[in-house]
Amino acid sequence: MKDILIVSYECDRIGNYFKLCNQNLQDFIKFKQFNMNIHCTHNMNNRESLHSKLEEFSDDYIVSIYAHGEDDRIKNNENEDLINISDARTHYNNAIVYSTACYSANKLGVQMHAYNCKLFFGYIKKSYIVSMYKDTFIELDNFALKEILDNSNIDPTLLCEKINSIFDNRIEEMKKINLMVAPFIMHNKESYKIYKNQKEYPS
C-alpha cells in the first residue's frame, strides 16, 4: 500500500473516541515503519473534498473512516453523507475501505465491493463502545486493519480467525474486570463483516 487516508470526527455522545482511533492507527503505522504516505484529517472532510482527495491516489490505497453510519451511508459530524451508496460505481477503485461505522457493511459495503473496492470491512449492526474501557475498544476496532497493513493479501478466513481470537480473549478478560461490559464486546464480534473476492466473511 502506498497511501492511507484516515478520516475521523468528533461526536457529542462518545467525545474524542474516533480521534483516538485515528491516532492509534497512525502510531501503529509509524512504529512499524511502513513505507506509505499517511493522509489524515479530523472534523474536516465532506463528500466532495474526500472525492477530490481520492483522485490523488493510485489503485493501491486504503481509506479508513471513524464516523457514524447507516445501512447505505457513512456520515460526517454534520450528519451529511461522506460516502453513500451512489459512490459504489464511481469511486474507491481497487481500494481497501475500512470503517467502524454502525451498519456500514449492509447495503453500502455490499455495493462498494460489488463494483469497485477490493476489500470492505464494516459492521452489519450497531457498533458499541464503553468509554471507561476505550483502550480495549480501540484495540478491537483497529485490529483487523492492522492485520491487513501487515499483510494486504491475508486470506479472509485467516483474518476472521485472528479477529475472533482477539475478541474472545478480550471477552474473557473483561468478564473478570466488569461482567457488564463483556456482552458489548461479544456484540461487536458478531457484527463485523468483510467483503473480498466477491464473498463475505464470516459467511
Per residue in 103-143, pLDDT (tens digit) is: 999 999 999 999 989 999 999 999 999 999 999 999 999 99
For the domain made up of 3-201, give the CATH fold. Answer: Rossmann fold (3.40.50)
Instruction: Find the mean pLDDT for residues 25-31.
Output: 97
pLDDT 10s digits, 41-78 = 999 888 999 999 988 887 789 999 999 999 999 998 88
Instruction: Find the mean pLDDT for residues 22-46.
Output: 94
Per-residue pLDDT at 113: 93
Cα 178 to chain centroid distance, Å, stands at 26
Per-residue pLDDT at 104: 96
- Average pLDDT score, the chain: 94
Q: How confident is the model at residue 187 (pLDDT cuts 50, 70, 90)?
A: very high
Distance (Å, rounded) from C-alpha 129 to C-alpha 170?
Answer: 13
Distance (Å, rounded) from C-alpha 21 to C-alpha 134?
Answer: 9
| Cis peptide, bond prior to residue 183, ω within 30 of zero | no
End-to-end CA separation in angstroms for the chain: 27
Q: What are phi and psi of 132, to 5 degrees?
A: -65, -20
Q: Quick one: cell of 201?
A: 466473511
Cα 109 to chain centroid distance, Å, stands at 11
Distance (Å, rounded) from C-alpha 81 to C-alpha 83?
Answer: 6
CA distances from 95 to 54, 63, 79, 159 (A): 10, 7, 24, 18
Per-residue pLDDT at 42: 93
| pTM listed for this prediction | 0.95
The domains of the chain are located at 3-201
